[in-house]
Amino acid sequence: MENYSPVLNNVFHALADPTRRSVIARLGNGSASIKDLAEPFGLGLPSFLKHIKVLEGSGLIASEKVGRVRTCRLRRENLTAAEQWFEQQRAAWQSRYENLDSLLTTLKGEEGES
């Protein structure tokens, strides 16, 4: 996966804000109305809706309006893309650490022989 993916850029931008991360965490438990999602933050609805628009724009959530109630749900596809990017980074760094460990072991062995 490339580092300059528009999907990843949007996901990481959306997750850069603690309010939006809290919304994602809450939606991990199931769908919720905008009113319920906004309640813990003490923000005015227009301010909170800006966060919802960023999350929708990143593809992390979807919302549906039924009557007067707008309900949001988590869309896991783009979270999966971010998870795969992190996994690739973890694997690359793990390999680097293993190489460093091997080098240090080799160097220790050479010190002991001198």
Q: Residue 82 maps to which CATH number?
A: 1.10.10.10
pTM here is 0.75
Domain count, the chain: 1
36 part of a folded domain: yes
55 part of a folded domain: yes
Could you tell me which of 11, 98, 61 has the C-alpha nearest to residue 48? 61
Angstrom distance (rounded) from CA 37 to CA 81: 24
Residues 52, 34 contacting (CB under 8 angstroms): yes
Q: Is the pLDDT of residue 91 over 90?
A: no
42 part of a folded domain: yes
Residue 32 bridge partners (DSSP): 72
Cα three-residue angle 18-24-30, rounded to 5 degrees: 150
Residues 11, 80 contacting (CB under 8 angstroms): no
pLDDT at 100: 84
Locate 38 and state its tokens: 């906004």
pLDDT at 88: 84
pLDDT tens figures, 5-49? 888 899 999 999 999 999 999 999 999 999 999 999 999 999 999
Residues 24, 74 contacting (CB under 8 angstroms): yes
Residue 26 sits in which domain range? Answer: 6-113
1 part of a folded domain: no
